[in-house]
């Protein structure tokens, strides 16, 4: 197991990874409340980005509706907690099951009928929008008036029910992100991972080599949607309120994929670096604009859009591939780091 | 409910659907030729809508008169956008193109928010409350004018692609990229023309739809989604398909609003889209990909 985990990884990469992890574990001792909140948001997007990357980055299936799986996970656990008092860790398998089931249904319908590329992307948007309007009229979870979790001022951290202070949530999302990272590292080196990459590069060629592309694309969507559901559980218990209009909004799906695309699609570190940059950029812009009295609604997002435009024009493969070359991490790795041929 | 109500609502949905169709026609032309999905389509239309609102408020120019000037303006904008920003992205992967257009959409939505604020703007024409009675059926004058205007613009575009030499050259580009290069067509310029034509549809549709729909900055993303639903239902890349899809979606929305609640109407459009994608992924009038 350890051998599989570490085989072919350059030693200085491990040292660097250890340093980053140590810094993240130590962060709550140095960060103030504001910085801690920002770090939680960053890790949340790193986690969802990693989950999305399994489908797009590894298997080449562009999903623009990942807010669906976040939302289903969030609503499933929140409803269980509010209606039956069932805690989030018991609710999580249910959430994962529901997300995977919906992912599998979407995947089955799409891949069985040969829906691919742009059409698949728009189908995923359609299902997410469908859920948004559906939940708006779903009375059991309070429809458009929103589902609220009971909140009080917590002095003690209750990990079992995920009720507590930001520090606890920070470590929960850090642990989730770390597990997801290691899982993806293992997946990329597994048989499934190689099949995915073959499908991503050239589906026809992969099929002619005897890969059952339908089955492996189904596995990709199942793994990705299942990994996304815990992010929804975290979202529900961290923010304590769920509105279909917000949770399933297309902007939520877009936020999820910004990090991996800016960081580098198909790479392990891309989603994490991307999340740091995207969220960091938004926060820095906010500070900057407030300092110069330019805090008019919309100004921040215009700057944000311009930055996205510049990054995507200058770095077609994202930030991680050139950064990896700079840090000499691209050598001695079995897989190609290029997102596409 | 008396039977005329169904007919009235159906006709109103059909006329609105024609305007949706014209907007989606722009998306279809762009995708059919350039093979780029314009994820900022609705946002670009809201720009045209705001221009129509400003022209009406300042100079009392009727949006239907401003249809052609706005189409021309957006044509120029589209030509410039394709030449400078999108042409370098032609051979890049889909998610990269998506990011580019998404960034443009974000800039447009929030730029409009800065300039016009979050309040809804509308145009109050002198014929806003007129209607025609055809026997028991009552048709809203605004919607009738809007539907006819949309049909005229679409007809002009069809004849351009059918008869004009440049229109034929653009279709050649769409059919066979390499072939078009081999016979010496300037593909980059034809791409820019196509994007310009796509946005000209959007400009005309924006001027027309302002008569029916109030404009706010967040309307952009909603209209982009609507354009997707329409073209995929009709057939992405098929021009008659876009109009047909528009009419179908317009009818579905109107009927869902009548039988259920107006807030659930988009659910029925999405349901229609899902059904079409599953049983005829290329759309009702789309060609099967080879």
- On whether any CB of chain B is under 8 Å from the CB of A20, the answer is no
Residue A137 belongs to what domain range? 2-326
Contact yes or no for A122 and B109 at CB 8 A: no
One-character DSSP codes across chain B: --HHHHHHHHHHHHHHHHHHHHHHHHHHHHHHHH----TTHHHHHHHHHHHHHHHHHHH---TTTTHHHHHHHHHHHHHHHIIIIIGGGTTS-HHHHHHHHHHHHHHHHHHHHHHH-SS-B----TTTT-EEEETTEEEEHHHHHHHHHHHHHHHHHHHHHHHSHHHHHHHHHHH-HHHHHHTT--HHHHHHHHHHHHHHHHHHHHHHHTTTS-B-TTHHHHHHHHHHHHHHHH-TT-HHHHHHHHHHHHHHHHHHHHHS-GGGHHHHHHHHHHHHHHH-TT-SSPPPP-
A85 touches chain B (CB under 8 A): no
- Confirm whether A336 is domain-assigned: no
Do the domain assignments include residue A24? yes
Let me know if residue A337 belongs to a domain: no
Burial status of residue A191 (CB atoms within 10 A of its CB: 0-12, 13-18, 19 or more)? exposed
Residue A274: its chain B contacts at CB < 8 A?
Answer: none
The distance of A298 to chain B (nearest Cα, Å) reads 5
Domains of chain B: 3-279 (1.10.3470)
- Predicted confidence at residue B185, as pLDDT, reads 87
Pairing assessment for the beta strands B131-134 and A147-148 based on DSSP bridges = unpaired
**Average pLDDT of adjacent 10-residue blocks, chain A of 341 residues:** 71 86 90 91 96 93 94 95 90 96 93 82 88 88 86 74 86 95 92 94 91 94 96 94 91 89 90 92 85 79 86 87 83 48 40
Domain annotation covers residue A195: yes
Q: Are the beta carbons of B107 and A305 separated by less than 8 Å?
A: yes
CB contact (8 A) between residue A340 and residue B94: no
In this complex, the residue of A133, A261, A340 whose CB is nearest that of residue B266 is A133
Q: Which residue of B has its CA nearest to A296?
A: B114
pLDDT for position A340: 44
Give yes or no for a contact between A200 and A60, defined as CB atoms under 8 angstroms apart.
yes
Do the Cβ atoms of A133 and B263 come within 8 Å? yes
Q: Which residues in A lie closer than 8 A to residue B225 (C-beta atoms)?
A: 125, 129, 250
Instruction: With beta carbons under 8 A apart, name residues in chain B contacting A250.
Output: 221, 225
Which residues in chain B have Cβ-Cβ distances shorter than 8 Å to A137? 261, 263-264
Q: Find the closest chain B residue to A251 by CA distance.
A: B221
Q: Which of A117, A257, A302 lies closest to B114 in CB terms?
A: A302
| Domain count across chain A | 1
Which of B90, B98, B221, B256 would you mutate first to test chain A, the one with the most A CBs within 10 A? B98
- Residues B277, A110: C-beta atoms closer than 8 Å: yes
Evaluate whether residue A225 is within a structural domain. yes
CA-nearest residue to A260 within chain B is B95
Question: Which residue of chain B comes nearest to A115, CA vs CA?
Answer: B281
**A134 vs B contacts (CB less than 8 Å):** 267
Cα separation of A335 and A188, whole Å?
8
Find residues 192-211 of chain A whose CB sits inside 8 Å of chain B. Answer: none
Q: What is the pLDDT of residue B120?
A: 92
How far A168 CA sits from the closest chain B CA (Å)? Answer: 34
| CATH code at position A144 | 1.10.3470
DSSP string for residues in A200-262: HH-HHHHHHTT--HHHHHHHHHHHHHHHHHHHHHHHHHHH-EE-HHHHT-HHHHHHHHHHHHH
Judging contacts by C-beta atoms under 8 Å, the chain A residues touching residue B103 are 305-306, 308-309, 312
Residue-level pLDDT at A2: 65
A256 in B contact zone (CB under 8 Å): no
- Over its length of 290 residues, how does chain B's per-residue pLDDT go in tens digits? 677 888 888 999 999 999 999 999 999 999 888 888 899 999 999 999 999 999 999 998 998 989 999 999 999 999 999 999 999 998 888 888 888 998 999 999 999 999 998 899 988 888 888 888 887 888 888 899 999 999 999 999 999 998 999 999 998 888 888 888 888 888 889 999 999 999 999 999 999 999 999 999 989 988 998 998 899 898 877 888 999 999 999 999 999 888 888 777 888 888 888 888 778 878 888 776 54
Residue A340 lies in a domain: no
**Residue of chain A nearest B272, judged by CA positions:** A126
**Assigned domain for A255 exists:** yes
The model carries a pTM of 0.87
| Candidate from A250, A298, A312 with C-beta closest to B114 | A298
Query: Are the Cβ atoms of B100 and A313 closer than 8 angstroms?
Result: yes
Instruction: Kindly identify which residue of chain A lies nearest to residue B261, measuring between CA atoms.
Output: A137
A:42-81 residues touching chain B, CB 8 A cutoff: 56, 62, 64
Q: With an 8 Å Cβ cutoff, are B228 and A316 in contact?
A: no
Chain A: closest CA distance from residue B100 (Å): 6
pLDDT of residue B251: 93
User: What is the predicted pLDDT for the residue at A338?
Assistant: 47
Which of helix, strand or coil describes residue A163?
A: strand
């Amino acid at each position: 197991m350890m051998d599989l985990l570490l085989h072919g990884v350059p030693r200085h990469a491990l040292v660097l990874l250890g340093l980053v992890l140590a810094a993240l574990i130590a962060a709550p001792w140095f960060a103030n409340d504001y910085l801690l909140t920002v770090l939680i948001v960053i890790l949340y997007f790193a986690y969802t980005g990693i989950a999305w990357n399994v489908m797009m980055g590894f298997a080449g299936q562009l999903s623009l509706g990942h807010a669906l799986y976040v939302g289903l996970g969030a609503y499933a656990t929140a409803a269980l907690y509010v209606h039956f008092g069932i805690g989030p860790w018991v609710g999580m398998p249910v959430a994962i099951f529901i997300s995977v089931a919906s992912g599998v249904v979407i995947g089955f319908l799409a891949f069985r009928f040969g829906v691919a590329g742009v059409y698949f992307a728009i189908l995923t948007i359609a299902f997410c929008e469908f859920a948004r309007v559906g939940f708006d009229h779903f009375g059991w979870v309070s429809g458009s008036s929103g589902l609220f979790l009971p909140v009080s001022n917590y002095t003690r951290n209750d990990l079992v029910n995920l009720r507590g202070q930001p520090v606890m949530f920070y470590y929960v999302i850090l642990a989730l992100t770390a597990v997801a990272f290691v899982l993806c590292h293992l997946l990329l080196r597994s048989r499934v991972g190689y099949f995915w990459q073959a499908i991503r590069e050239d589906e026809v060629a992969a099929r002619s080599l005897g890969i059952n592309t339908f089955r492996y694309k189904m596995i990709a969507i199942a793994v990705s949607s299942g990994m996304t559901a815990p992010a929804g559980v975290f979202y529900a218990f961290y923010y304590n309120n769920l509105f279909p209009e917000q949770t399933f909004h297309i902007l939520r799906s877009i936020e999820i994929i910004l990090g991996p695309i800016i960081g580098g699609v198909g790479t392990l570190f891309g989603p994490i670096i991307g999340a740091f940059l995207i969220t960091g950029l938004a926060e820095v812009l906010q500070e900057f604009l407030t300092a110069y009295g330019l805090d008019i609604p919309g100004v921040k997002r215009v700057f944000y859009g311009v930055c996205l435009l510049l990054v995507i024009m200058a770095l077609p493969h994202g930030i991680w591939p050139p950064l990896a070359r700079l840090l000499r991490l691209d050598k001695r790795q079995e897989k190609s780091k290029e997102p596409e041929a | 409910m008396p039977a005329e109500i169904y007919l009235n609502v159906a006709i109103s949905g059909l006329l609105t659907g024609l305007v949706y169709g014209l907007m989606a026609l722009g998306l279809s032309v762009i995708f059919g030729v350039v093979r780029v999905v314009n994820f900022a389509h609705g946002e670009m239309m809201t720009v045209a809508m705001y221009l129509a609102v400003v022209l009406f408020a300042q100079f009392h120019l009727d949006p239907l008169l401003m249809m052609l000037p706005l189409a021309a303006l957006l044509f120029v904008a589209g030509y410039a956008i394709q030449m400078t920003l999108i042409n370098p992205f032609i051979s890049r992967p889909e998610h990269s193109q998506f990011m580019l257009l998404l960034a443009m959409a974000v800039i447009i939505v929030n730029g409009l928010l800065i300039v016009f604020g979050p309040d809804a703007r509308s145009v109050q024409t002198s014929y806003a409350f007129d209607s025609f009675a055809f026997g028991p059926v009552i048709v809203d004058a605004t919607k009738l004018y809007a539907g006819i205007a949309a049909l005229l613009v679409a007809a002009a575009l069809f004849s351009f692609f059918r008869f004009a030499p440049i229109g034929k050259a653009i279709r050649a580009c769409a059919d066979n990229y390499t072939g078009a290069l081999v016979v010496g067509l300037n593909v980059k310029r034809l791409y820019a023309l196509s994007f310009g034509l796509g946005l000209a549809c959007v400009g005309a549709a924006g001027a027309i739809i302002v008569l029916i729909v109030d404009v706010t900055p967040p309307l952009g993303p909603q209209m982009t989604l609507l354009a997707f639903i329409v073209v995929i239902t009709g057939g992405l890349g098929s021009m008659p398909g876009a109009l047909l899809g528009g009419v179908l979606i317009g009818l579905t929305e109107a009927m869902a609003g009548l039988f259920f609640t107006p807030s659930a109407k988009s659910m029925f459009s999405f349901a229609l889209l899902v059904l079409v994608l599953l049983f005829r992924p290329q759309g009702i009038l789309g060609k099967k990909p080879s």
